[in-house]
């Protein structure tokens, strides 16, 4: 019976990993796919490799936080409770993936485990508080770092990484030899190649950061059990993520690459670097971070930074000139020097975001963690009240 339950637990963990692959491939490689720099299959392959590298290194620290530190009871994580926790994580993420929306896997997982902890009175509120504080602070850091970049450095970065797209593929395979080798496309320019390498590299960085933070969401409840080793579970979770990246992630790649926003490629690169840097830093100290929320605030901060270029710091303090603060500034091809220009020339937010898709994304990103948390809390409360009385 125990072996059967363990097999079920492994299957549910794989299901969670599958949905993590679907939820995180879009944010990582959506800009590259949207810019036709890489195919969906190529994005999935790179996602699989760099997720595993992140999971096998810094990801182990986050596994320890969720599996050992967040709940304190010695017998709380059993095969039965672990399966239920993973079920609510995977089920909630599947709802988001089915809607084509990349939800926060970290918030969903922490919510499900917290539901177990509250129901059993074993939640370590100090650890939960530390995680929650960083969930509030990290997006603020992302906003201000991106804001400074947008105000002072965006134009220079844009000139450096801009991709001049030409007809045809960026790379092709020369099959004249025994082993096919990649060669430049017939129309690929050196500038296009450089820009393509940059945006693909950023996607790989994001995939690595996803592995550091998200592997715990799939395997932590099982690793917390006696006799379950971390390394085999990391291999299992990473393999499941790869399957999700090659299949269900196609929906989130479409949403992030084409539907939600006309985010310029330079802006996407800035947001990716800032957000990934914050997520990797938090993973290094064992904090599961929400990349989706950090990235959203980074987009807003970047738009704010570009929009405020029409006002100097002195003018802003004295109230002599009012900026038109809008993330729509990200769509402007040219921005004025600091202190010059008219705020009325800044594009509106509607020029950047698709309102309908944006509303759906925001709604689902809130619903998914709530489904996981409330579902786990109610289920465990009922089970410990009427079924498992005195057994834990």
Q: Which is more confidently placed, 374 or 333? A: 374
Average pLDDT over residues 84-97: 83
Per-domain boundaries in the chain: 1-173+182-310+352-382
CA distances (Å), origin 326, targets 35, 37, 299, 350, 360? 24, 28, 11, 10, 20
Residue among 17, 21, 75, 2 nearest 237 (CA):
17
Which tokens in the block code for residue 193? 């190649």
pLDDT of residue 387: 73
pLDDT given at position 200: 87
Between 330 and 127, the more confident residue is 127
When pLDDT is cut at 50, 70 and 90, the band that residue 138 belongs to is very high
Residue 168 DSSP label? S
Mean pLDDT, range 277-287, rounded to an integer: 92
Judged by average pLDDT, the poorest of 120-124, 125-129, 263-267, 388-392 is: 388-392
pLDDT in tens, 315-329: 545 455 555 555 555
Q: What angle do CA 358, 362, 26 make, to 5 degrees?
A: 75
Residues 81-94 have a mean pLDDT of: 86
User: What is 271-339 written as a DSSP string?
Assistant: HHHHHHHHHHHHHHTT----HHHHHHHHHHHHHHHHHGGGS-HHHHHHTSS-----GGGGG-S--PPTT
Q: Which of 5-14, 179-188, 366-375 has the lowest mean pLDDT?
A: 179-188
Does 353 score more than 50 pLDDT? no
pTM over cut 0.85: no
In whole angstroms, give the CA distance from residue 1 to residue 392.
19
Of these ranges, 36-45, 52-61, 101-110, the one predicted with the greatest mean pLDDT is 52-61
| 169 class by beta-carbon count within 10 Å (0-12 exposed, 13-18 middle, 19+ buried) | middle
Top-confidence residue, 301 or 82: 82
Q: Residues 242, 44: contact at Cβ < 8 Å?
A: yes
């Amino acid at each position: 019976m125990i072996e059967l339950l363990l097999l079920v637990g492994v299957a549910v963990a794989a299901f969670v990993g599958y949905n993590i692959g679907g939820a995180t491939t879009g944010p990582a490689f959506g800009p590259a796919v949207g810019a036709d720099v890489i195919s969906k299959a190529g994005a999935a392959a790179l996602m699989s490799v760099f997720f595993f590298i992140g999971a096998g290194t810094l990801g182990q620290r986050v596994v320890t936080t969720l599996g050992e530190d967040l709940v304190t009871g010695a017998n709380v994580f059993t095969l039965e409770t672990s399966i239920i926790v993973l079920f609510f994580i995977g089920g909630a993420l599947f709802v988001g993936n089915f809607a084509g929306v990349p939800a926060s896997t970290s918030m969903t997982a922490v919510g499900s485990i917290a539901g177990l902890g509250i129901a059993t009175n074993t939640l370590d509120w100090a650890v939960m508080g530390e995680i929650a504080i960083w969930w509030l602070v990290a997006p603020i850091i992302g906003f201000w770092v991106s804001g400074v970049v947008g105000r002072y450095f965006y134009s220079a970065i844009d000139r450096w990484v801009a991709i001049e797209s030409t007809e045809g593929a960026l790379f092709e395979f020369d099959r004249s030899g025994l082993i096919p080798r990649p060669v430049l496309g017939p129309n690929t320019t050196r500038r296009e190649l450089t820009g393509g390498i940059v945006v693909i590299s950023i996607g790989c960085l994001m995939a690595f950061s996803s592995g550091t933070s998200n592997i715990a969401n799939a395997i932590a409840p099982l690793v917390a059990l006696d006799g379950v080793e971390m390394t085999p579970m990391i291999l299992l979770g990473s393999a499941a993520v790869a399957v999700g990246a090659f299949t269900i992630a196609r929906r989130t790649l479409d949403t992030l690459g084409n539907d939600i926003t006309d985010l310029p490629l330079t802006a996407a690169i800035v947001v990716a670097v800032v957000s990934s840097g914050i997520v990797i830093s938090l993973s290094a100290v064992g904090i599961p971070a929400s990349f989706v929320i950090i990235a959203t605030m980074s987009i807003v901060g970047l738009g704010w930074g570009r929009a405020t270029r029409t006002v100097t710091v002195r003018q802003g303090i004295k109230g002599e000139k009012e900026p038109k603060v809008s993330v729509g500034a990200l769509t402007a091809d040219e921005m004025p020097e600091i202190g010059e220009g008219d705020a009325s020339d800044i594009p509106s937010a509607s020029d950047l975001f698709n309102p309908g898709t944006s509303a759906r994304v925001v709604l689902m990103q809130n619903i998914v963690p709530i489904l996981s948390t409330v579902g786990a809390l109610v289920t465990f409360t009922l089970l410990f009240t009427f079924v498992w009385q005195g057994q834990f």
